[in-house]
Amino acid sequence: MNGTLLNEQPQFAAMGDSALMVTVGDSISYDINKKVHDIISLIKLEDWPGIKEIVPTYSSFVVHFNPIIFSMEGLVECVQGIWNDDLNSENTDSRIVLIPTLYGSEYGPDLEFVSEMTGLPIQEVIEIHSKVDYLVYALGFSPGFPYLGGLDSKIHCPRLETPRVSVPQGAVAIADSQTGVYPVTSPGGWRLIGRTPVKMFDPSRANPSLVTPGDYIRFVPIGSDEEFAEILEKSAQGTFEVEVQ
């Protein structure tokens, strides 16, 4: 554990009578977020009564519970009790979800800008972006929007000064130290460098989101418009299965 980044002990704050906020650290960092997911995994292994759901964000998480069944004090004690437990390897097998992505051209209209701004050839920007397995810090902003950590600082880019009114579903984008995928068509100010034909979020699926917090995403470049169109069609029919490692 990195003592400079992580709190020695969690900080607890009541959020009303039925929710408890547990703060792990005070910055956006990979180590802190990893600890958030580890603790949540540990809690899920326990069978505490009255827990409704646990919602992770960058450096904290919120436990929603029924205080008639499980007291706030009891919950705090229980979380403290498992804080330093080790996750065994069985529980730390994170999923890596492979997201096919077509970079550049009309699919990633800002890729050229990123190349110019960073002074890197387009091909190298693609290689840098697709070589990392990104930790899903949290999902938010809109249903299924993943906040991903771990973008190489060589391709950090500022947001658009004026956000686009409409960013297409599946747009793969970067902004400052973050990267993400737009799950549905929405307004957005991030730089669009590519697009995936897979449906990241679909309310009608049994598992509506392809990724959950704590998973990793790897963008896998696809070669042609034809391949993109093929996967898009299969996705629409619900017959495309993303590869998970």
Partner 1 sequence: MIEIAKAGTLTTIQDAGRTGYQELGVPESGALDNFAFRCANLLVGNAENTPALESVLFGPEIKFLKDTFIAITGADLGPVLNGDKVNLWETLEVSSDSILTFSGPTGNGLRSYLALAGGVAGAGTDLVMGSYSTYIAGEFGGHEGRALRDGDVINTGAGLEGFEGGLSLENPPNYDEDVVIRIIEGPQHDRFSETAMETLTSSSYQVTPNSDRMGCRLDGPILEHLTGPDVISDGNAFGVIQVPGDGKPIILLADRGTTGGYTKIATVITADRSKLAQLLPGSSIRFEIVGQTKAVELLREQETLLASFLNKEGSPLKFKVDGMLVDAVDDSGLPLSVQNPETKTYAAKVSHEAGEHQVEVEISE
Choice between 53 and 90, CB closer to partner 1:
53
* Smallest separation (angstroms) from partner 1 to the CB of 69: 4
CB of 142 to partner 1, least distance (A): 6
**Taking a C-beta distance cutoff of 8 angstroms, is the pair 41, 91 a contact?**
yes
Shorter beta-carbon distance to partner 1: residue 111 or 198: 198
Least distance in Å: CB of 158 to partner 1?
A: 18
Two tokens, residue 73: 């004090």
Q: Largest alpha-carbon pair distance within the chain? A: 60
**DSSP-derived pairing of the beta strands 96-103 and 191-195:** antiparallel
On whether the CB atoms of residues 111 and 197 are closer than 8 A, the answer is no
- What backbone torsions phi and psi does residue 45 show, to the nearest 5 degrees? -75, -25
Q: Write out the residues near partner 1 by the rule CB under 8 A.
A: 13-19, 21, 23, 26-28, 49-50, 52-62, 64, 66-69, 71-72, 138-145, 201, 203-204, 208-209, 212-213
Which residue lies nearer to partner 1 by CB, 70 or 83? 70
Q: Provide the strand spans (E) within 29-145.
A: 51-56, 60-65, 96-103, 134-139
Min. distance of Cβ 74 from partner 1 in angstroms? 12
C-beta closer to partner 1: residue 104 or 146:
146
Any idea what the Cα angle at residue 147 is, between residues 185 and 216, rounded to 5°? 110
CB of residue 192 to partner 1, shortest distance in Å: 20
Q: Which is nearer to partner 1, 54 or 174 (CB)?
A: 54
